[in-house]
Chains A and B, each alone.
Chain A
Amino acid sequence: RKEVEQDPGPFNVPEGATVAFNCTYSNSASQSFFWYRQDCRKEPKLLMSVYSSGNEDGRFTAQLNRASQYISLLIRDSKLSDSATYLCVVNPFNQAGTALIFGKGTTLSVSS
């Protein structure tokens, strides 16, 4: 099983749609979780951290299910500017210097 697995998409949705991305991770001891966004030919940027209690930031909602080792991202009322690749990211170890492990990303294309 891959460390972090995502559906690559692409997800093609109209403006205003709600879209959900899912991600699974293999290491049950993983400590922290994030969603990053990467635009074409740009660096990845943090979209939001993912907490056990779930968290919301405007139109974006992230959920974590530790028992199922599953992370989700929900985007409501999609905008054209949401078009990007969304990367599920896991910090698998409780040790200084360990690296974030990235999924391969899910591509979202929002059209008018």
Chain B
Amino acid sequence: DTAVSQTPKYLVTQMGNDKSIKCEQNLGHDTMYWYKQDSKKFLKIMFSYNNKELIINETVPNRFSPKSPDKAHLNLHINSLELGDSAVYFCASSQVQGKGVNTEAFFGQGTRLTVV
């Protein structure tokens, strides 16, 4: 079974559309993330949720809205898509150890978003 799964794997859409990416983890982790990897391959944190609570919300346009219905799911909804949103979006999860330190993160296979 896949530990962190996200759908769809590929998403091609027109500017102005609204789209969602879904993510699920079956590892029992407390923390889930969304990362964006741009054309220069830099992985940048977008959001972090711990036990369904938003912890990190980096400087991301408010067209991006994460939703965590439960600990195992973190979805990403994007409104009014723009050309610059084209990137690979990775979902990840990790577990909190003692003293609040997160273990390594496990990543989903990524969603390659292309806005045309």
Contact = CB atoms under 8 A, between A and B. Distances in A.
Interface of A: 31-32, 34, 42-46, 49, 85, 87, 91, 94-102, 104-105
Contacts, number: 75
Given A44-B107, A96-B31, 6 more contacts: A32-B102, A43-B110, A94-B99, A96-B100, A97-B96, A100-B94
Nearest to B33: A99
Interface in B1-54: 30-31, 33, 35, 40-45, 48-50, 53
Interface of B: 30-31, 33, 35, 40-45, 48-50, 53, 55-56, 90, 92, 94, 96, 99-110
Contacts of A104: 40-42
A86 B107 CA distance: 15
Contacts of B33: 99-100
Main secondary structure of the interface of B (DSSP, over half): strand
Contacts of A85: 41
Given A94-B99, A97-B53, A98-B56, A34 B45 contact: no
B111 to A, nearest CB: 11
A26 to B, nearest CB: 15
A94 B102 CA distance: 8
Nearest to B56: A99
Contacts of B41: 85, 104-105
Contacts of B35: 99, 102
